[in-house]
Amino acid sequence: MRQLLFFSNNKNKIIEIKKIFNNFNLELLSLNDLEISEEPVENGQTFEENAKIKSDYGFNKTSIPCFADDSGICIESLNWKPGVLSKRFLNNFKSNKDCFESIIKSTKKNNKQNAYFKTSISLTVKDNQNLIFNGKIDGKISEKATGRFGFGYDPIFIPRNYNKTLAELRTREKNKISHRSIAVTKLINFLTN
């Protein structure tokens, strides 16, 4: 397997994943490289189900071994939501800033700061044959949004044993600890062994 398709149109995710893959002798393709813009409906109830929907779709469309991830944040003060609806939850607000303020307010009101990020990666190499790799990082919601790196909820998430948000960590540092890099490393270990 020399070519591998990463099923994503998210520029930030693609950059992050390509940096993790840099040391391996695999050609990583993205949807942009193949000029694919349509995506399947992600109607799974779990991160694993959504990742599988996307990796199956990519493989069926291109016949290239394909992996996809689904990630999100789970916040204790929101009853461990938004989870698989993380992107939609963020997009329901006028701005990221409004969303972050709402989450921080809820965290303070309920006195519950815990949160975690989870990634599930599905690899499809044959029809309806999937391997799943999970990554998780525990932490807490910060008291204010800070940092200019990262994307999504990174500005309000402080990983356990850190005093900075993910958005304050440069990509290299984030890639050492992030939920996505944990799952991707499991995927790479599988591909290279």
The residues assigned a catalytic role are 70
Q: What whole-number distance in Å separates Cα of residue 38 and Cα of residue 51? A: 15
**What distance in Å separates the CA atoms of residue 155 and residue 141, rounded to the nearest whole number?**
9
CB atoms near residue 80 (< 10 Å) = 13
- Angle made by CA atoms 186, 191, 193, in degrees to the nearest 5: 95
* C-alpha to C-alpha distance for 131 and 124, rounded to whole angstroms: 7
Ramachandran angles phi, psi of 40, nearest 5°: -75, 165
User: What does the radius of gyration of the chain's CA atoms come to, in whole angstroms?
Assistant: 17
d(CA 31, CA 94): 28
Largest CA distance in the chain: 51
For residue 84, which of 137, 120, 35, 40 has the smallest C-alpha distance? Answer: 120
Structural tokens at position 128: 């309806």
